[in-house]
Structure 1
C-alpha cells in the first residue's frame, strides 16, 4: 500500500499500519511529491509495525545531495535491517526545478550516477569520484548499515529500463496498464539475482463508475501531459487514444482535454469497482510479471462519508486476507 493515506493525520497511522499488516499487506511504499517526504512515514512504520517491508517510490535523485540521500537511506536501513528498499528516480521538472530550485539537467545521467554513488556509499566505502553529473570528495558514511538496502530504479522508457535491469536490484513501474507490463519488462534485459518488479497501481474502490472516471480523467490530464509521461505513453502505443487530449491541453483547452480521455483509457489505468473486483484486476499485473503490486488508494464517496473507520474496513477488503 502507498502511504500515508489521504485524510488521516500521519500521527494516527499506527492503526493504519496495524490494519495493513493484519489483513495481509506485506509492504508500505511512500512517495515524495508535495506532501510528506519519502522517509518519515516509513520511519514511523518501522517503529509501529516491524512486520512490514518498507520502500521509497521514489526519492528523487536531484532534490537531495548524494551524501544526504545516502544518510537518509542508511538511517532507515539501520532502523529496519533487511526490510527497507530504496527506490530512486529522476522525478520531474516541476518537482525538481519549479518547487526545489534545482536545474533538471540530464535526468538519465544524474540517476545513473546517483545509483552508482549509493551502491558504493551504502556498502561503507569511501567515495572520491568525479561522475559525469557531479563530483564527490572523500565521503564516508559514519554509520553504514549492516544490511545495505536494495536499490530500485523508477523507469519508464527503454534507456532507464535497461539501466535498471543492468545495475539496480529492481524496477519501479508507474502509470501503466496491466497489458503494458510485458512491453516494459521486455526492455530490462538480463536481470540481477533477486531482481524485483514493483508497480504502483491506482485503485478507486467504488461502484460509482461515473465518480471514478471523472477522478481518473482529472488525474490522467494532470500526469500524462507531463512530457516524460506523454513520451512514455507514446512509446506504449497510445498516440491515437491520447493524442486528442495532448492537442487540447497544448492549446490551453483544459475542458476539451478532459472530454478527450475515453472511458477505455481510464479503465485501463485507474482500477475501480468493488474492492473485490479491484483485487481481481490487480492480479492481472501479477500475472503479467509484477512481483510487488503497490496500491495507491484514491478517495471514494463511501470512504469520504465514513471517515477513518471506513478506510480501515476498505483496506481489509482490498487486502490478501480479504479473499478468504
Structure 2
C-alpha cells in the first residue's frame, strides 16, 4: 500500500501551511501529492508551485475536470509540468457533473463516457507525438469542421517533445460503467466516497474493463487504485467523526442536483440510501447544520478512519486487504505524522 497526500481544492483562500505540509509529506515518505478543482482554484497551478519546492513526490491531479480544458490544452499542461518536474506527473481526470459543466464552464454534458473515451484518446495521441493529431469524434472531432468554422483547421503535432510519451492517466469514477472504463483505457482508478465493503464488486468491474484493455497499455497488474480517505486522529470518536460529517453532507446533499448527484448515488450504494435522502432534503432546504448532524457515525466509519490512533490502525487493515493500492490521506500535518508512525 502506498500513501499520498490529498490537498484537494482551496476554499476561500490558499490553505495556510500547505507548502510546509507538502514538504513534510515528502520527508515522511508519502509518494505523491494530489490536488483537485471544482469552481475556484485550479488543479495544476498549486502542483507547479509546490512541485518546485520538492524533488521526489509525484504531482497528481485528483481531479482535473474535462470540461475545464480541451484535451489539447490538458496535454500541453501535463507535458510542460512533466518536463519541469523531471517526470513526476500523474494526470487524474474526471467529468464532474452537469451543474458544474453547464453552469460554470458553459459546456454541454452529453454522453460523459463517450466523451471521456475520446478525450483520453486525444491525450494519448498528442503525448505519443507520432503523427499530426486527428480525432473522428463525434464528441470531440479534430480538426473541427462544419458550420460556423473557417474550414482552415489542420492536423497539428506538438512542438514540445514529451519527456515521457506515456504520462499516467487516472480516471475518477463512481458508477459501474465508468469504473470499468477506467480499467479499459487508463492507468488508474480514482474512486471517491469509497468503502472497502465494495471490494468484491469493484474487482469484478475492473476485470470487466481489463478484458477489453488495449495490449499497448501497461498491464493490468500495474493498474493503480488511489482513494481519498479522511483521517482524523482523536481520542473522542464522535468528535473525530464531526470533522468528517460536513464533507459527506456537502457531497451527498449539495454537490449535484436532486436526481443527478453521482456522490449521492455512490453513498446510497453503500447501504445508506435512506440516510442520503434525509441529508439531501435538509441540505437543499438550507438546513445545513441539520444535514451535517444527520450523517451517521457508521457512515463516517465506512469511508474514513477516525478516533484514537489504535482504532485508526485497526481500520487500516480493511483498506490494505482491498483492491486499493494507494490511500490519499486527507488531514493536517499532525495526521500525516500519525499515519507515518503507523507505517514505521
TM-score of the aligned structures, taking structure 2 as reference length:
0.80
Q: 1:143 aligns with which of 125, 149, 160?
A: 160
Q: Distance in 1 between matches of 2:237 and 2:309?
A: 13
Contact residue 197 and residue 292 of structure 1 kept, 8 A: yes
- Relative distance call for 1:179 and 1:24 in structure 2 (3 A) is same
- Relative distance call for 1:314 and 1:261 in structure 2 (3 A) is closer
- Relative distance call for 1:314 and 1:240 in structure 2 (3 A) is closer
1:86-142 CA-partner distances (Å, limit 9, x unpaired): 111111233322233323332222212111111111111421123121222214222
Deviates more, 1:238-247 or 1:49-58: 238-247
- Relative distance call for 1:197 and 1:113 in structure 2 (3 A) is same
Deviates more, 1:176-185 or 1:238-247: 238-247
- Whether 1:216 aligns to 2:244 is yes
The aligned counterpart of 2:152 is none
Give unpaired runs (5+ residues) of structure 1: 298-310
1:153-181 CA-partner distances (Å, limit 9, x unpaired): 11111110111111111111111122223
- Relative distance call for 1:12 and 1:242 in structure 2 (3 A) is closer
Aligned length in residues: 310
Q: Distance in 2 between matches of 1:233 and 1:14?
A: 32
- Relative distance call for 1:207 and 1:149 in structure 2 (3 A) is same
Q: What is the DSSP-based 3-state SS (H/G/I as helix, E as strand, rest coil) of the residue aligned with 2:93?
A: strand
RMSD: 2.8
- Relative distance call for 1:242 and 1:166 in structure 2 (3 A) is same
Q: What is the DSSP-based 3-state SS (H/G/I as helix, E as strand, rest coil) of the residue aligned with 1:174?
A: coil
Shift of 1:30: 1.1
Contact residue 6 and residue 329 of structure 2 kept, 8 A: yes
Q: 1:27 aligns with which of 32, 40, 47?
A: 32
Contact residue 282 and residue 293 of structure 1 kept, 8 A: no
1:250-279 CA-partner distances (Å, limit 9, x unpaired): 666655544443221122223212356435
Q: What is the DSSP-based 3-state SS (H/G/I as helix, E as strand, rest coil) of the residue aligned with 1:37?
A: coil
Q: Distance in 2 between matches of 1:127 and 1:11?
A: 42
- Relative distance call for 1:43 and 1:181 in structure 2 (3 A) is farther
TM-score of the aligned structures, taking structure 1 as reference length:
0.84
- Relative distance call for 1:29 and 1:280 in structure 2 (3 A) is farther
Q: Distance in 1 between matches of 2:17 and 2:298?
A: 37
- Whether 1:230 aligns to 2:264 is yes
1:222-251 CA-partner distances (Å, limit 9, x unpaired): 102331112223344432443443455566
- Relative distance call for 1:11 and 1:177 in structure 2 (3 A) is closer
